Amino acid sequence: WEMVVNKDHHADLGINELECMINLLDEGNATTEVNTIACSAVWTVAVSQVPRRELAKSGCMEALMIMLQRTLKAKISAPEAPPDKEAKPDKDKPPKPPAPTDKAEKGVMTSEEREDMQFRCLGALGISVIERICRKHLIEEQPTLNL
């Protein structure tokens, strides 16, 4: 993430780094939080022409479409109960660790996670379609897509 936020570093990104980002888009490899960061990284890199073309050649458009479709099919988990405002912290007990952000069951996310992931997927796809090779890969993945 730190390399991609500075456009001057985009030229330093090789195919291995780009493929690593694409692999993190895969649900089986990472938590929803990591998927979201990877999607953001792809979106950020896609503003530069050379990495955008390399991403397309490496299957990124297909991975983004799969992730977008996965968010549309995801089960929405019940919202967590808000913390009890009346409860006072016990100074003698250590604070509870934060609950893990990813769900144990695959394909389950909160509505906020789903919206965030869709926003980032569409952002990455939106900036990518300015490139002919990216459009070609999207149309091959989704033949009914009208670009």
Which are the contacts of 24, defined by CB distance < 8 A and separation ≥ 6? 30, 34, 35, 37, 38
Cβ–Cβ contacts within 10 Å for residue 130, how many? Answer: 12
Residue 97 has a pLDDT of 46
CA distance 146 to 135: 10
- 3-class DSSP state for residue 1? coil
Residue 123 has a pLDDT of 92
CA distance 52 to 17: 13
Residue 103 has a pLDDT of 47
Cβ–Cβ contacts within 10 Å for residue 24, how many? Answer: 19
Residue 89 has a pLDDT of 58
Q: In a structure prediction context, what are the per-residue pLDDT tens digits for the chain, which is 147 residues long? A: 566 777 776 777 778 888 888 888 875 556 888 888 888 888 888 888 888 888 888 888 888 988 888 888 888 887 655 555 555 655 555 555 445 444 445 678 889 989 999 999 999 999 898 888 888 888 887 788 765
pTM confidence score: 0.72
Q: Where are the alpha helices (H) located in the chain, listed in sequence order?
A: 15-23, 32-45, 49-57, 60-73, 111-128, 132-141
